[in-house]
């Protein structure tokens, strides 16, 4: 089945550690996104990529990093510089230039302990 796979679904991180969230899609979509969702704050865009080997900062990129070495993959690293990383992280994708309907993965819950 076509879709977006995020892993892990639940992750616990100690303060000062970097963690990487995986996102893989087999929809042949050009564009991929990372959002963060906190209670009462809606979806906030962290990074997005419209094409392989290119990505742009979203509204809250500080403390995060990404790479886009393959069309199918867009991993997100939450670094120790992110002061409040506990949140629900959502990866999404769309066709890019031909349409902007966004489809989401199941999400990853990150908790700092």
Does 27 engage in binding with other proteins (CB under 8 A)?
A: no
30, 39 in Cβ contact below 8 A? no
Cβ distance to other proteins smaller for residue 11 or 45: 45
> What x-and-dash track marks residues 46-75 binding other proteins by CB under 8 A?
--x-x-------x-----------------
DSSP 8-state code for residue 12: E
Among 25, 94, 110, 112, binds other proteins (CB under 8 A): 94
Does 86 engage in binding with other proteins (CB under 8 A)?
A: no
Does 105 engage in binding with other proteins (CB under 8 A)?
A: yes
Is the sign of the CA dihedral 77, 80, 84, 87 positive or negative? positive
Does 31 engage in binding with other proteins (CB under 8 A)?
A: yes
Query: Hunting for tokens 């992280």 — which residue is that?
Result: 89
Give the DSSP H/E element, type plus range, for residue 10: strand 10-13
CB 16, min distance to other proteins, A: 28
Helix, strand, coil % over all residues of the chain, rounded to 5: 0, 55, 45
Query: Hunting for tokens 């080997």 — which residue is that?
Result: 53
Q: Site residues (CB under 8 A) for other proteins?
A: 31, 40-43, 45, 48, 50, 58, 90, 94, 96-97, 100-107
């Amino acid at each position: 089945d076509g879709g977006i796979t995020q892993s892990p679904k639940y992750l616990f991180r100690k303060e000062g550690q970097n963690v990487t969230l995986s996102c893989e899609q087999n929809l042949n979509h050009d564009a991929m996104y990372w959002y963060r969702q906190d209670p009462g704050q809606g979806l906030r865009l962290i990074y997005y990529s419209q094409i392989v080997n290119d990505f742009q900062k979203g509204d809250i990129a500080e403390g995060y990093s990404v790479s886009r070495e393959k069309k199918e993959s867009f991993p997100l690293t939450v670094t120790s510089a992110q002061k409040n990383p506990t949140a629900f992280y959502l990866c999404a994708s769309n066709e890019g230039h031909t349409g902007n309907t966004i489809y989401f993965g199941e999400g990853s819950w990150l908790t700092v302990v």
